[in-house]
Amino acid sequence: MTAAEVLPAVTPAGAETADLRVAVLGVGLMGADHVARLSRRVSGARVTVVSDAATDRADQVAAGVPGARVVPDPLAAIADPGVDAVVVASPGRFHEEQVLACIERGVPVLCEKPLTMDADSSLAVVRAEDAYTARTGQRLVQVGFMRRFDPEYAALRELVASGGLGEPLLVHCAHRNPAVPAGVTTESVVNDSVVHEVDVARFLLGEEIAAVTVLRPRSTRRAAEGLSDPLVVLLETTGGRLVDVECFVSTGLAYEVRTEVVGEDGSALIGLDPGPVRLSAGPGGAVRGSTAAPGFRERFGRAYDIEVQRWVDAARHGGIDGPGAWDGYAAQAVCAAGVEALRTGRRTEVRMEPRGGTRS
């Protein structure tokens, strides 16, 4: 099937060679970064429309991109005839409506996580895309779980999938932030931070999460009032594997994301990302060390670039190349169980519908 058949209403003839014309909805931290990478580092695409509830911000971002216009209403931006594909980087509560509008129009969409705010609405997106796929044979919705594109994670997954560690048994994850903004709650740590480990676990092990337990050890003195920090989250997979996640968001130090897979015949660890190892003077003598990434944009900058390039390449041919709506739904279902486990202090089973549909 050609791209012209898939996106007859919006993709001009010869679309395989034309730049993909992208609308970016929401140009705060993530959206502005995506505009910059689409404009400067990714080939085969250009930003033609920028939309944000804060029109001054949209004006400012569009002013830096030759040929870009501001369309304040995000649904009008999705419907714009000068748009072939959409990046959704608005706050999560707007994703459902915006992604459904993209499916309705038949345009590929890269939606930042979360796909939607809860599992039921994410499932509705899965089903809407399934109906589109049944008609066209094409998928439209990619979800922004960028770690899958990080070269270290990709290599780890390859190692696991090729049997290089034997049967995988355990995964140890550490997710540490130096600090979090005011207003972050323990529940939002599960939904916004642990969600990445949930996707990593599913990606590395290739199976669903069946149950979640959340433990609250003694909190750091740096934790904001009311925040349980760190958390330890245990994820049990359908195949009986166990994933432990330390999520510690106010270490006062740096951004650290580390993952170790332990298999029957070996183990592999990623996330030390040392860069140059330097010898320098320290208080008690010379110290050998390296600089840790200050934040997620530094640690995963390359992953975002690869993610968006692969999405553009796929979208130009009317498809996706990465985690899809089902992965967004599964992550929401696991986080819902995580929030319940946090509230009750009990092991909580994940409630998920059978996959079904026309997934590849």
What residues line the site for ligand NAD (CB under 6 A)? 25-31, 51-54, 57, 74, 89-92, 94, 112-113, 144, 146, 296
Nearer Cβ to ligand NAD, position 282 or 294?
Answer: 294
Which of 6, 3, 314 is closest to 132 using CA atoms?
6
Residue 297 CB, nearest approach to ligand NAD (Å):
8
Nearer Cβ to ligand NAD, position 15 or 200?
Answer: 200
Nearer Cβ to ligand NAD, position 31 or 271?
Answer: 31
Query: Which ranges constitute the DSSP H helices of the chain?
Result: 3-6, 29-40, 55-63, 74-79, 95-105, 119-136, 151-161, 186-189, 195-205, 296-299, 301-315, 325-344
Nearer Cβ to ligand NAD, position 53 or 268?
Answer: 53
Residue 300 CB, nearest approach to ligand NAD (Å):
7
Nearer Cβ to ligand NAD, position 263 or 323?
Answer: 323
Helix or strand (DSSP H, E) at 272: none
Count of CA atoms in the C-beta half-sphere (13 A) of 2: 10
Secondary structure in 3-state letters for 319-353: CCCCCEHHHHHHHHHHHHHHHHHHHHCCCEECCCC
Residue 329 CB, nearest approach to ligand NAD (Å):
15
C-alpha radius of gyration, the chain, whole number = 21
CB-nearest residue to ligand NAD = 28
Nearer Cβ to ligand NAD, position 112 or 256?
Answer: 112
Residue 251 CB, nearest approach to ligand NAD (Å):
18
Q: Which residues make Cβ contacts (< 8 Å) with residue 253, sequence separation at least 6?
A: 176, 178, 292
Residue 326 CB, nearest approach to ligand NAD (Å):
18
Q: Compute the Cα dihedral for 245, 221, 228, 177 and give only its sign.
A: negative
Chain centre to alpha carbon of residue 339: 19
Residue 191 CB, nearest approach to ligand NAD (Å):
9
Helix (H, G, I), strand (E, B) or coil at 212: strand
